[in-house]
Amino acid sequence: MLGREAKVEYKVIKADRRMTKTNEPYYVLELLDANQTKYEARIWNDVIPGIQERFLPQEGQYWGSVKSHDNVYRGQKQLVIDGYWVYKPEEIHAAVKEQFVEQPVIDVDRVIKRMFDWEFWEPDMYALMQRVREHLKQDGVWEKIKAIPAGASYHHNVRGGFLLHIDEMLDLSGGLCRTEASFGREDKGMIVNGPVHYLGLIDYQILRAGIVLHDIGKIYDYDEKTLYFQPNPISDCLEHTLVGVLMVERYWIKNSSEAVDRGLRLMHALAAHHGPEMGAVKPKTPEAIILHHLDMISAHLDVCRRAYEDAKKNGGSTEYSRMLGARPFVPGFFPPEQSIYALRKEPDKKAATEEVVTKDEFAGKLPWEV
């Protein structure tokens, strides 16, 4: 009945039944709690026989009385589910359901405007952005831009993560190229082309367009409901890096006889944004070099952010990150006896330092909480 109190712990965002190498069934799950935290989970074959068929995991289920334990697989933390109770939809108040509606992590309308309707776009660039937007609408994928992640697992793998990643890169590029220096001009011009030591070297219009379009192909790659990768002909045949390249060639170079040189520089930046280690095309221009590093900075900082949040919940421990190739270091979680100052042999310095550490009001806090 509606009045029954349902103590919901998780909503099942995705439930994928798979088979082990020994042909035993198991489930790959993504769960969401009321705090908008997502969890990767598994139900293994030893648990499945004890679950009635109508209660087997399905997308949209609400679970309570969950029994679980933690596991680490390939450096990623997982919940292993040992048992749960499935609530009927009519047992859950509407207000409770609202808590489990996954929200984007960013103001999507603000970022989309910043991307496609930036007031300082040059006419050709603005026209390119509008043609790209219309292309995505005609393909029926435009609305997905508001929901999809930037990646399936490595970074920004949350609802709205695609736009959050681009928003961060735009912020970083603006600081690097001092774009705010020309915002007050009467002619509304965009003159500043790079850092003070490299004036004129960087074409900021190309760099900014590269940021907007570098991952545009991912709109075809991800399901806007589950946020998981979905196989499609474009992804099967082309890297997402090439989708933006083809759009620039079709909607800018072919529409402007004066765009060939700059269009090629933009196409190169898009094709090379994975960098010399991972990409087939190596960055050869200032815009391509900066685009690659901004992409990596945003991605790596997101890995650190998530590690810091996990560390606060786990008493300071972090898990191995495949993207970083290491366990992220979390400052502020070392107890006083492990401090490098506390390990000094001089008694007077050790005593003085221990006194300071004991009174440290910032101990155990994350950087943004200080």
Residue 242: both structure tokens together: 């090439």
Q: Where are the domains of the chain?
A: 10-99, 108-304, 333-370
To the question of domain 10-99 being in CATH 3.40.640.10, the answer is no
Cα 38 to Cα 76: distance, rounded to the nearest angstrom: 13
Paired tokens of 113? 């405007």
pLDDT at 182: 45
pLDDT digits (tens, 9 = 90+) for 103-154: 788 899 999 999 999 999 999 999 999 999 999 999 999 999 998 888 877 7
pLDDT at 367: 47
Q: What is the mean pLDDT of residues 232-252?
A: 85
Q: Which of 36-50, 228-242, 323-337 has the highest mean pLDDT?
A: 36-50
Rounded-to-integer distance, Cα 14 and Cα 40, Å: 10
Report the chain's mean pLDDT, rounded to a whole number: 80
- For residue 318, report the phi and psi dihedrals to the nearest 5 degrees: -125, 160
Contact 165, 148 (CB under 8 A): no
Contacts of 171 (CB under 8 A, 6+ apart): none
Greatest mean pLDDT among 58-72, 177-191, 192-206 lies in: 58-72
Which range is least confidently modeled, 11-25, 45-59, 186-200, 306-320?
186-200
- DSSP state letter for 113: H
SS3 (DSSP) at 293: helix
78-89 pLDDT tens trace: 899 999 999 988
| pLDDT at residue 23 tops 70 | yes
- Does residue 224 or residue 209 have the better pLDDT? 209
In this predicted structure, what is the pLDDT of residue 332? Answer: 65
Poorest-confidence range of 46-55, 58-67, 180-189, 218-227? 180-189
pLDDT at residue 354 is higher than 60: no
Q: What is the pLDDT of residue 179?
A: 57
- Identify the helix (H) or strand (E) that includes residue 14: strand 10-19
